Amino acid sequence: MAFSIRLHRVLRAPPERVFRAFMDADAMVKWNPPSGFTARMHDYNPVVGGSFRMSFTNFTTQQSHSFGGRYLEIIPNEKIRYTDAFDDPNLPGEMMMTAEFAAVVVGTELKITQEGIPDVIPEAACYLGWQESLNQLAQLVEPEIRES
């Protein structure tokens, strides 16, 4: 069996910047891993039909898990939909990830849906990991840093 989660966040940044954080490999390894993990992008081709492979490594234990998927839909600054699957046979099945971006008066409304999460992953751990990732996303996209 599998389950789904839905997340919602408003960020003080324009949709273009938030969208770019999902489409840039260097940005992804900065904000996507939950606290206490590092990330490495092994393969990245963010176009419809393109694929990605990355891994997260627990900084304390040095245990690593890798995963990847294929991009199904990309609407610039509005929506990204892709598959996602763990390489670990103990985490079976293919997940579907959808991120939707909408301009709001204070920045961007971000809605994330992750479907098909393997039951062996605790739902609360999923939400906690995503909360940590979204906090790091906010730290990346919200600052207005101007170079002179």
pLDDT band of residue 64 (cuts 50, 70, 90) is very high
Count of alpha carbons within 13 angstroms of residue 70, beta-carbon side: 4
Question: Average pLDDT of 28-37?
Answer: 94
Is the pLDDT score of 42 beyond 80? yes
Partner residues linked to 2 by β-bridges: 118
Structure tokens at 3: 């389950």
The domain 2-141 having CATH identifier 3.30.70.260: the answer here is no
Structure tokens at 106: 């204070």
What value does the mean pLDDT of the chain take?
95
Is the pLDDT score of 24 beyond 80? yes
Model confidence pLDDT, tens digit, residues 94-130: 999 999 999 999 999 999 999 999 888 899 999 999 9
Is the pLDDT score of 33 beyond 80? yes
- Any idea where the domains of the chain sit in the sequence? 2-141
Report the SS3 class of residue 21.
helix
Element (H, E) at 55: strand 51-58
Q: Cα(19)–Cα(77) distance, rounded to whole angstroms?
A: 5
Is the pLDDT score of 145 beyond 90? no
> What DSSP line would sit under 34-98, residue for residue?
PTTEEEEEEEE--STT-EEEEEEEETTT--EEEEEEEEEEEETTTEEEEEEEESSTTS-S-EEEE
